[in-house]
Amino acid sequence: MASLELSEKIQGIAPSATLALNAKAKDMKAKGIDVLNFAVGEPDFNTPENIKDAGKKAIDDNFTRYTPATGIPELRKAIAAKFQKENGVTYSDSEIVVGSGGKPLLYGALVALCNPGDEVVLPAPYWVSYIEMIKLADGVPVIANAREEDEFEIKASTIEAKITPKTKVIILNSPSNPTGAVIPEEELRKIADLAVKHNFYIISDEMYEKLLYDGKHFSVASISEDVRNRTVTVNGVSKTYAMTGWRIGYLGAPKPVADAIGNFLSHINGNANSIAQKAALEAITGPQDEVARMKEEFRKRLSRFVEGLNEVKGIKCLKPKGAFYVYPNFSGLFKGDITDSAKMANHLLEKAHIAAVPGAEFGTNEHIRFSYATSMETIDECIKRLKELFG
């Protein structure tokens, strides 16, 4: 009998290094090893009580059946109001799509916009899943490298150099995973001008918008009607409200694009979890006190972590402006068998029991990503172990 093979497309997709590292760290912990896990970008706070209560009420009210594929009307209405009030972008309810987290929405957007061979400009460092999603959507990733000396803020001039007649989409992520970089408004306006001039779409991933430590978040879709009509703005409740497991993301897009994404998702997962949608409605429309409290705690951890990392000889770390990641440069410690970020990450896990993600997964090979969505005590212990390891 002839052997059966998986599709070439799926064989070409790399597994998530973040989840793989997290699994390895948990396996070590299960064996009694004291592992400090900085691999996964997940708030360590509990979901606020009012949001949990809304989920419980949804269960008690038997709100447990199918919903419209693009989300319940009241949630879409609340999201449209949020975009208008907080981001200065006007979307009708029919231009809002609710999904099972940000990932299916981002992938759905790429499927809706890309034909085979279309180029997608992807600033690096980039979130690990973008590049695989582009390939799954039959697009061609074109990497535009942001420079560390520019604090990893991608420049319009760098993007312009990557534009060809095949350019169909650019993905922007600000604040950024993995660097925490924030693209300045001035630069976003220049990038938007390029999109209009060269006629391509923008997918703007704004999942970390509420975790901005200086200044006000700026949404590229707010620049003009022309820019809005070629932009898909993706957001969600996971990071802001400590709701990662609830799996609710949302987007705003011009109606033909929103309809296409909604149609795609209707065949993939039907609809987002009904109970979680009710909880997300409370998150968006209810009290925001806990958001401010969590953000302030993240700010304190960020300062402590960056200060501590820069005290370790051979490590250089910029202070990010948003999200909850630090992205230190470890190249000053590459020697012997440790010649890249993957080998360094393995060295940290095996010798210091510190789990963090190698920069190679994000498009650079000198850095390691640490999530500081963990306790101050864990951060302090990490710095202590790094000093002992490299002292």
Least Cα distance to 244 among 213, 207, 281 occurs for 207
d(CA 23, CA 205): 26
Terminal CA-to-CA distance of the chain, rounded, Å?
59
d(CA 221, CA 204): 8
Least Cα distance to 318 among 121, 117, 146, 192 occurs for 146
CA angle at 334 for the pair 342 and 360, rounded to the nearest 5° = 30
The CA-atom distances, in angstroms, between 237 and each of 99, 209, 242, 251, 257 are 11, 11, 7, 11, 22
Whether residue 2 contacts residue 124, with contact meaning beta carbons closer than 8 Å, is answered with: no
The CA-atom distances, in angstroms, between 239 and each of 170, 177, 252, 376, 380 are 23, 12, 18, 18, 23
SS (H, E, C) 289-335: HHHHHHHHHHHHHHHHHHHHHCCCCCCECCCCCECCEECCECHHHCE
d(CA 192, CA 161): 15
Sort residue 294 into left (φ over 0), alpha (ψ -120 to 50) or beta: alpha
Neighbours of 92 (CB within 10 A): 12
The predicted structure's pLDDT at residue 12: 87
d(CA 320, CA 324): 8
d(CA 169, CA 174): 16
The predicted structure's pLDDT at residue 288: 96
Neighbours of 98 (CB within 10 A): 27
- Four-point Cα dihedral 73, 79, 84, 90, nearest 10: -60
Q: What domains sit in the chain, N to C, each tagged with a CATH number? A: 8-46+289-390 (3.90.1150.10), 64-285 (3.40.640.10)
The predicted structure's pLDDT at residue 2: 66
d(CA 239, CA 42): 7
pTM of the model: 0.95
Q: What is the mean pLDDT of each run of 10 residues along the chain (391 residues)?
A: 82 77 82 92 94 98 97 98 98 98 97 98 97 96 98 98 98 98 98 98 98 95 98 97 97 98 95 98 97 96 98 97 98 95 93 96 96 96 97 79
Look-up: residue for tokens 């065949």? 267
Q: Half-sphere exposure (CA, 13 Å, Cβ side) for 319?
A: 15
d(CA 236, CA 346): 32
